[in-house]
Structure 1
Amino acid sequence: MSAAPESPAERQAIDRLFNPRSIALVGATERSIWSIAANDNLRRFDFKGSIHYVNPKGGTIFGAPAATSCAAVGAPIDAALLMVPEAKMIDVFADLEAAGVGGAVILSAGFAELGENGAERQRAVAAAAKGAGIRILGPNCLGFANFVAGAPIWTTPLRRPMADARVAIVSQSGAIASQLEQFAYQQRVGVTHMISTGNEADITIADAIDYLARQPEPRAIALFLESVRDPARFAAAVQAATAAGKPVVLLKVGTSEATARAAQAHTGSLVGDDRIFDALCRKLGLSRVHSLEELIVTADLFARLGPVECEGLALTAMSGGMCEIMTDQADAEGIAIPTLADGTLKRLREALPPFATPANPLDITGAAMLQPDLIPTALAALASDASVGALGFVFDAPLKDDARGFARSFIRHIGEGFKAAGKPCVMMSHTFSAVNGEAREMTDSAGVIYSGGGVRHGVSALGHLAAHHAWRRRAAAAADNVPAAAGTTNAARPNGERDVLDYLATAGVPVIPARLARSADEAVAIALALEANVVLKIASPDIAHKTEVGGVALNLRGEAAVRNAFDTMLARVREAAPAARIDGIVVAPMRQGGVELFVGTMNDPQWGPAIAVGLGGIWVEALKDTSLRLLPIGEQDALDMLAELRGTKLLDGFRGAPAADRQALARAIVAIGQAALALGPDLVSLEINPLLVDGARVEALDGLTEWKESE
């Protein structure tokens, strides 16, 4: 994937659109709810620039004279909202060009969302805009709102901007963007920008992210994504945002149809459509969530907490039951809740009442209600543990304090604990709770970062922050260790088991010593030379699953056994698969014991080559226990993949078996990935099943390739 850089003129046009000093409402009328909402939003935001109303009939609109065209305005126009019928859309751009408009939002629907005829109309509109030098957002788009600049072009009602805004919202769906903005307001999460991209005839989700990466105000980006139209631009934009210190939190719906088509390759069917996108998230450091609420809660804590310096979380509540809930949730999501060091436990034991049990999560008990000084002492002790990177405290900020000011006083003690901790800390509600102005003022004045998203989303968000830090650390360490993507170096197309294994051997992959026999006499000679029990396997480019046609014979020794197995196998296979080409029979030493793994690559049409690792042999399809990455990978990536398998413990020695040499295994997996890349884009899939690891010995026992059909 390679992204074409945005030209200076294109970047300037987008800047004018998203931060306009003058706005034209084209097709403005007091009879349209869209027009009314757009005008009301500009007034509610106290837009400081010029607002121009444009309607071919002229007259007075919203109490101001309307121009019959943008050119007739006679003043500079940075951005326009186009509320004209689809049939007249193309004609508008000549007028916009004459007026020097920088960019336009197209509210109108009736384009690509209606099918091919609509798509053709959309392409014509995009061409007209490009010819006029105008960037367009949409069509079928509710617009954008620059909250920090007080500049909205948005066609449903918005709330006023909030102070200390740090989260930007980008969504391909305008309706979802509206829901996110409403929920953010309910939680008192300040929004800096909101951009809805609609059909993306021109400005894409990648352009929006790239723009936000260059703005000083957003500290995190909340992204709702349905599809990616330009993978290279998307990846480059996410990388730009991350480099600018603006993590991207993502809610993606749907799966890739292109990947579904690729799933006819065996590897594709094993990993599933959406797993490729998960692999992309791992590669780019995207934090993927699964609900609108989680999207805002997580982006908010990314924006306000700052970096977490290690993966471990320490959690505190005044309820043993809540501590158990948090433990279960963290365990289910793979969030690290470390066991505290002896010194930390000693400090807690000295600080807490005798009936409290020092642990993580920590039940500080109801004694804190009577002795709130316990809170800063306990939090400081937890934070002193080297395994702890961030802390969470469960307490609800009320919408209104009681007459005695108990809540404000209690939260002040929590704030003292957060300050004493000196690490990222968040106070989270027990359940989803609204956060009003008084609750926010109460927590802010105490120096407490508070989330009303509840323990479920609060703990999950902290886990995402810790995981993002771990990703940054691994990415920095691996920068010099991930091999460059191999160019196409092999002109031939290895096909068939022996051909594939021979190719892998030249690429540095350890393979089992084996030879191809074309007669029973050759098979016997090879078997006797190996001086070991042998396995015979049919060699045919047309037979993917040898056992299904009787193409495997195991544990053979001696001339008679090998000769008989050779002749019997040929007859059996020819009967079961009469049309299959048969190159001969592979003779290899019999391997017993060890752990069999599956390693397969696929070439996703959208995101490029990927590699999957899982338990192999007969278990690969039954268990589908796989881990996936986009290629190329380094040894640490391969080690992480092995650790993610549900069956990973089998590699550590099971029932007396020797522990696998994971480092040697990782080197083999990396070499397989590089070998696949070197075969070029016509390779659909390269699969090794099994890749046997038995202690320090790692060997590819069988290999298979699938290629694109020649056009």
Structure 2
Amino acid sequence: MLTDAYQPYVFPNLTRLFSPRSIVVIGASEKPHSIGNLAMQNIVEHSGFKGEVYPVNPKQDSVMGLTCYPDVASLPKPADVVVVVIPAGGVCAAVEQAGEIGCAFAVILTSGFSEADDWGRAEEAKLVEISQRSGIRIYGPNCPGLVNLNLPLGMTFSPAFKDDIAPGPIGLATQGGGLGRNMIQHNERGAQFGLWSSSGNECDLQVADFVHHMAQDPDIKVIGCLVEGFKDGARFAAACAEAARRGKPVVGLKVGRSEYGARAAASHTASITGSAEVNSTVFRQLGVVEVDDLDELVDVAMLFCRKMPTGDEQIAVFASSGGAASLCADNVGMAGLTLAEFTSETSARLAEALPAYANMSNPIDTTSISISHPDAYREALAACAADANVGLVLAPLPMDYGSYSVVNAESLKAVQDGVDVPIVPIWMSERQGEGYHTLARAGLGPLKSLRNMRKALRRWVDYGAWRAAQDSEWRPAIIRTGSGGEPGATRTLNEIEGKQALAAAGVPVTAPEIAQTAEDAVRIAGAMGGRLAMKIVSPQIVHKSDVGGVRLGETVDTAKFAYDQIITNVREASPKAELSGVLIEPMAPEGGIEAFVGVSCDPVFGQVMTFGLGGIYVEMFADVTRRMLPITQAMAMDMIGELKSARLLTGYRGQPTRDLEALAALIARVSDFAEATPGLIEMDINPVWVGTEGEGAIALDAVLVVKA
């Protein structure tokens, strides 16, 4: 995993935010159902808070039996946290007072800032200035608050807080409030959340800061993360790297993966939603387990709380219904996972516990003994869970059998208490009887369907494989360089400039020359000899073949005609383009395969490489893979192997094996070049010629766009 050696970001210490000694509530009120009253109730009545609480409201002498102060300046001493629940027009002045007397954090529940209008954006900018000047750190605005369920403490106006207290090892960092509360309420099926931040507009503190804090918290085992947009991609990457270094999985759900969702997320949080493909790339490289929905996030997080996977777990299915056993096993196969083969010792124990007509191989069908002989059911389950080849037991429960389901749930709990292997029930019935609640109270967290199980189990196992394969020395370059943001003015290098820059960095490229007349073309062709490629050179033309600006297989005898034809074609197609001449270079040997290597600068996560094979494999099948920089040669080999069309490189159906080592080396050198060129905005090396083993790989064309 990631080591201690690299910590470029200094994250804030949020201990006193999550565990304050004193709290101020600005806008505290006795008025029933008001936000100020609900916030006070949650802190004073429904929390286990033992510190000092200072209500602030100039219109009241006391709130809930506590002395009420007219303003923050009147407080007897500064507080760790100031909770702000007054209208937006008074927020800046109140936070400024809090900062002046030395309060550490302001939790601003009030809406009407950057998510609303120009006035709100200006007020939010004032909050940032106040924070930077006075040192008070700001949580929000436009958020439902912050909760520490392990204390418990609810600095929130939510009327649901008192019903959602189920302390536990899951940390949750979200921007929006409603969806975060949805996940907290999965405590009904045994999910246990210790911390929840819902950071709203993030004018100061961000999701990244809370992920980093939860990574440090010894009571948190896994971190759920719901992101609508990124304020600082580099900071988020650094926080996730810290969580990975400490062995804490981050389970991430990114809103805005479609155009519709991206628009909605941007209007909700005023954050940068980013490219869905790049976001997924970043998640995968940092070990963030990306999920598709809220219940899936909770499913996966609960599995991580049960046990950390190794990545090679084999699965057992234990059921009292033959249909449920078969359907569950089918879903294991659909997930690409492996059913365990029982040892002879397990088979003997199962034969002793189960009737002869039961299915004792994997998947197990105990038949009706779950009703008639619950002790035998329990013994068979214990044998299954203790098998040396079993890494996890799935227990599909297709129906609610009332008291019998309670007995079976108690058997699952009893066996789980004696083994390290997770036993995972899947409650398939719409009727959630007492058996379901018995499983939830036992911490077994029943999943809601076999489909959900399949996805969660695949994510769980894949994370174990990621941990096992992770290069402990690798760091994403963005943590060092920071997010690039929008590029501003750019210029495009001509092909010779681009290839010269690549060649200087050790990237194999052809050695072109530029002909500015037809006579130049004949002379250059004669000196080069052989079959030649000829291409227009123009800063305005990127896709040369689209305008008739490329001819292949030319020789000294055809060079003059080819030159004239290229110039004529391009002048007709792009009459305003500036023409610098025609590039001439030797063609690669016949029989190679074409690939492409591109680098783009994402405004959130910086430089990202895209790799794929050329031609229809990219255009028709979108067969590409991506990575954040830097990319080692080993990582490049992984990228090559991830392509659906990778078999074309490895000798499919009698085709020759390609020079994968040379291709991987080229990819790694392109990465080195891009990382060492901070002004690089975009690079498209297409095609890259890949020969057979020993013939190498070479860049045949290159377009580089840099900051002007």
**Offset of residue 207 of structure 1:** 2.0
The code of the aligned residue for 2:245 comes to A
Structure 1 residues 404 and 186, CA, compared in 2 at 3 Å: closer, same or farther? closer
Q: Which residue of the partner structure matches residue 637 of structure 1? A: 635
Q: Is the 8 A contact 1:411 1:443 kept in 2?
A: no
The residue that corresponds to 1:689 in the other structure is: 686
Quote the offset at 1:633 in angstroms.
0.9
TM-superposed CA distance for 1:222, in Å, is 1.2
Give me the whole-angstrom Cα distance separating, in 2, the residues matched to 1:687 and 1:207: 35
* Structural mapping, 1:523-602, within 5 Å: 523=521, 532-556=530-554, 559-578=556-575, 579-589=577-587, 591-602=589-600
Q: 1:572 to 1:366 in 2, by over 3 A?
A: same
Q: Is the 8 A contact 2:189 2:441 kept in 1?
A: no
Task: Count the aligned residue pairs.
Answer: 669
Q: Which amino acid aligns with 1:692?
A: W
Per-residue CA deviation, residues 258-300 of structure 1 (Å, 9 max, x unaligned), is: xx99xxxxxxxxxx92111112112221111111111122122
Contact 2:358 2:365 in 1 (8 A): no
Residue number in structure 1 paired with 2:283: 281
Partner residue of 1:673 out of 654, 665, 671: 671
Equivalent runs, 1:186-585 vs 2, <5 Å: 186-254=188-256, 273-302=275-304, 304-318=305-319, 335-338=335-338, 356=359, 362=363, 364=365, 366=367, 369=370, 372=377, 373-381=379-387, 383-384=388-389, 390-396=391-397, 402=403, 406-408=407-409, 410-411=411-412, 415=416, 419=419, 422-430=420-428, 439=436, 449-476=444-471, 479=474, 495-512=493-510, 515-518=513-516, 523=521, 532-556=530-554, 559-578=556-575, 579-585=577-583
The CA deviation at 1:225 is: 0.9
Paired residue for 2:182?
179
Q: Structure 1's 433 and 707: CA in aligned 2 closer, same or farther, altered over 3 A? A: farther
Aligned match for 1:5, one of 7, 10, 20:
10
Q: Residue 67 of structure 1 corresponds to which residue in structure 2?
A: 69
Could you tell me whether the CA contact under 8 Å between 2:532 and 2:587 is conserved in 1?
A: yes
Shift of residue 649, structure 1, vs aligned partner: 2.0
2:93 aligned partner: 91
Identity value in percent: 29
Q: Which residue identity lines up with residue 37 of structure 1 in the other structure? A: L
Partner of 1:115: 117
* Residues 1:357 and 1:65: Cα distance change in structure 2 (over 3 Å): closer
Helix, strand or coil: the match of 2:127?
Answer: helix
How far has the Cα of 1:391 moved from its partner?
Answer: 1.8
Structure 2 contact 400–431 (Cα < 8 Å) conserved: no
TM-score (norm 2): 0.83
Provide the secondary structure at the position in 1 that maps to 2:683: strand
SS of equivalent to 1:287: strand
Quote the offset at 1:145 in angstroms: 1.1
Instruction: Please give the per-residue CA displacement for 1:286-326, whole angstroms capped at 9, x wherever unaligned.
Output: 11111111112212222x22321124442425467656755
Distance in 2 (alpha carbons) for counterparts of 1:306 and 1:62: 44
Q: What residue is the counterpart of 1:269 in the other structure?
A: none
Structure 1 segments unaligned to the other structure (5+ residues): 262-271
TM-superposition CA deviations, 1:581-609 (whole Å, max 9, x none): 14224232354333221110011222111
Cα displacement (A) at 1:613: 0.4
Which stretch shows the higher mean deviation, 502-511 or 202-211? 502-511
CA contact (8 A) 1:67 1:73 kept: yes
Q: 1:266 — aligned with what? A: none
Cα 1:646/1:357, change in 2 over 3 Å: farther
Partner of residue 485, structure 2: none
Measured against aligned partners, the alpha-carbon deviations of 1:128-162 in whole angstroms (never above 9, x if no partner) come to: 34444422211112111111112211101213565
The normalised TM-score by structure 1 is: 0.83
The separation in 2 between residues aligned to 1:225 and 1:123, in whole angstroms, is 22
Q: Which amino acid aligns with 1:641?
A: M
Q: Secondary structure at the residue paired with 2:696?
A: strand
1:27 maps to what in 2?
27
State the shift of 1:177 in Å.
Answer: 2.0
After superposition, residues 648-667 of structure 1 pair within 5 angstroms as: 648-667=646-665
* CA deviation profile, 1:15-73 (whole Å, cap 9, x unmatched): 22321233222211222432232233231234323333221023343344433334545
Distance 1:404 1:392 in 2: 18
Matched, 1:126 2:133: no
SS at match of 1:609: strand
User: Residue 38 of structure 2 aligns with which residue?
Assistant: 37
> 1:18 maps to which residue?
18
Distance in 2 (CA, whole Å) between partners of 1:627 and 1:432 is: 41
Q: Contact conserved, 1:23 with 1:51, CA < 8 A, in 2? A: yes
The amino acid that maps onto 1:81 is: V
Alpha-carbon distance, 1:630 to partner: 0.7
Contact 1:45 1:160 in 2 (8 A): no
The separation in 1 between residues aligned to 2:627 and 2:471, in whole angstroms, is: 17
8 Å CA contact 1:146, 1:194 repeated in 2: yes
| Contact in 2 for aligned 1:551/1:573 (Cα 8 Å) | yes
**Structure 1 residues 399 and 222: alpha-carbon distance in aligned structure 2, compared to 1, 3 A threshold:** farther
Deviation at 1:393, TM superposition (A): 0.8
- 2:446 aligned partner, one-letter code: S
SS at match of 2:162: coil
Q: What secondary structure does 1:113 align onto?
A: coil
Q: 8 Å contact 2:524–2:584 — kept in the other structure?
A: no
Paired with 1:484 and 1:28, the residues of 2 have a C-alpha distance of: 41
Deviation at 1:664, TM superposition (A): 2.5
Q: Distance in 2 between matches of 1:594 and 1:357?
A: 54
Once residues 273 and 98 of structure 1 are traced to their aligned partners in structure 2, the CA distance between those partners, rounded to angstroms, is 41
**For residues 419-471 of structure 1, what are the alpha-carbon distances to aligned partners after superposition, in whole Å with 9 as ceiling and x for unaligned?**
2xx545533334688697x75655776xx844334332333223222222222
Deviation at 1:115, TM superposition (A): 2.9
Q: Distance in 2 between matches of 1:30 and 1:278?
A: 47
Amino acid at match of 2:25: L
Match of 1:623 among 618, 621, 635: 621
Checking the alignment, whether the CA contact within 8 Å between 2:315 and 2:339 is kept in structure 1 is: no
Tell me, in whole angstroms, the C-alpha distance in 1 between the residues paired with 2:202 and 2:475.
37
Deviation at 1:95, TM superposition (A): 4.4
In structure 2, do the counterparts of structure 1 residues 482 and 179 end up closer, same or farther at CA, with 3 Å as the change threshold?
Answer: closer
Output one character per residue of 1:469-488: Cα deviation in whole Å (capped at 9) or x when no partner.
Answer: 2222332356499999999x
Paired residues of 1:691 and 1:698 also in contact (CA < 8 A): no
Q: Which amino acid aligns with 2:449?
A: G
